[in-house]
Amino acid sequence: MKHFSKWISSSVTAQMALAFLFGLMFVSVLLVIAYATPNPTPFQEWVYRVVMALAAGGVGAMIPGLIEATIPGWVRAGGALACFVVVFWANPPSLARDQLRSQSYFDVIDRGESALVSGNTVLARQLFSRASEIAPDAYIPYVKFASAQFDSGHFENARQNYEIAFEKSQRSDPTLLYGAALSDEAIGNYEAAIRTFEFIADRVRKNEEYLRDVRFSIAQIKLKIWLKDPSQAQSYESAVQEFRAFLEARGQPTYWAHYHLACLFASNAARLRTEHSPSAERLEQDAVKELKDTVQDLRLSKAKKAALHRTMLLDAISSTSDWGAPGNPVICKHLQSVSDRHYRVTEALMAPLY
């Protein structure tokens, strides 16, 4: 019996020693393989995990002390088996890959924004498209991608990507659709743009400042609709009401609301003058008043973009193009005539303040 116990003891010790040696050998081999294949396939990763877990169990059998691993609903193990479970259940390659993917994603986004700021919209579109491939469930790349497309004049594609971004956000942020509405405006799809803006307005009621901006954009589109087709009297009246409501609510900046009211009145006065209507003179006087308020408010403005807006005002009055960029002041040809005959905007803007 004594010899049998001794034989059992020596046999167990030999098994543990063999397990340790095999474990050490597998660990050494895996280190070499890991160096040779830094980017293994998912199947290779699984094989490596199994072998590494077995090796950890073998090495753990020779390490003194106690270890216990419990995974609720799956396994409860101790000793060498616990070492196997711990190593197999952890997945460092996946964690490292996710971290690298995150770093790569933000790096591409940053590079895309830099390209957009520098005016390289082609490169910006490529980088934001790449970011959407890295993180297909994120909505930010689609917003950035749409912005780059919008800036380069690809309005249809921009609208589609703004809508994708909205869906990717679980429809939680309706302001993502603002760019989609501007894209529809840019391609002349005014009714679709108004529907989108109304959708946004319905969901941002509690944000009064943002709601005023949305209503302002709707008024600009209705102004364009009426300028294109003066028979759309309802669009004219609605635009006047929207701009006046913006001023009554103390929306900022006030001068663009005054400018668009001046445009409405001057354009309507020009139309009525061809019909020899006595209302034309009164409307032209209203246009002059609104134009004066535009210049006065702009001259007094302390906003950072006030200087830029002065240039935009002069361009909007003197430009020969049709509408101007979506979201910018609507170009108004009839205001040039009013300015020349009644109130010279350029001189008024340059006059010193007292």
Burial of 290 (0-12, 13-18, 19+ CB in 10 A): buried
| φ, ψ (nearest 5 deg) of residue 75 | -155, 150
246 located within any domain? no
| % pLDDT > 70, the chain | 73
Cβ neighbours of 174 (radius 10 Å): 18
How much is the average pLDDT of 163-188?
94
Given a cut of 50, whether residue 4 has pLDDT beyond it is: no
Cβ neighbours of 312 (radius 10 Å): 18
Identify the bridge partners of residue 314 per DSSP, sorted by sequence position: none
User: Which of 71, 90, 109 is a domain's end point?
Assistant: 90
339 located within any domain? yes
Given a cut of 70, whether residue 200 has pLDDT beyond it is: yes
- Tokens at residue 234, please? 């309802």
List the domain range (segments joined by +) for residue 345: 252-354
pLDDT of residue 136: 84
Q: 305 by DSSP, 3-state: which?
A: coil
- Tokens at residue 114, please? 């830099």
Given a cut of 60, whether residue 33 has pLDDT beyond it is: yes
* The CA-based dihedral angle spanning residues 232, 238, 243, 249, taken in that order and rounded to the nearest 10 degrees: -170
Q: Is the pTM of this model over 0.75?
A: no
- Tokens at residue 330, please? 């609507």
* The CA-based dihedral angle spanning residues 130, 134, 140, 144, taken in that order and rounded to the nearest 10 degrees: 0
336 located within any domain? yes
312 located within any domain? yes
How much is the average pLDDT of 296-314?
92
Lowest mean pLDDT among 10-14, 98-102, 129-133: 98-102
User: Which of 90, 123, 142 is a domain's end point?
Assistant: 90
Domains in the chain: how many in total?
A: 2
Residue 194 C-alpha from the chain's centroid: 21
351 located within any domain? yes
pLDDT of residue 199: 97
Higher pLDDT residue, 274 or 71?
Answer: 274
Most confident of 89-93, 137-141, 221-225: 221-225
Single out the residue of 66, 63, 84, 62 nearest to residue 75, CA to CA: 84
User: Which of 67, 90, 113 is a domain's end point?
Assistant: 90
pLDDT single digits (tens) 89-104? 665 555 444 443 445 8
In the numeric block, the tokens 């004066």 are attached to 292
Cβ-contact 273, 327 below 8 angstroms = no
28 located within any domain? yes
What string of DSSP letters covers 65-116? S--EEEETTTEEEEHHHHHHHHHHH--HHHHHHHHHHHHHHHHHHHHHHHHH
239 located within any domain? no
Q: Which amino acid is at 337?
A: S
136 located within any domain? no
How much is the average pLDDT of 3-30?
58
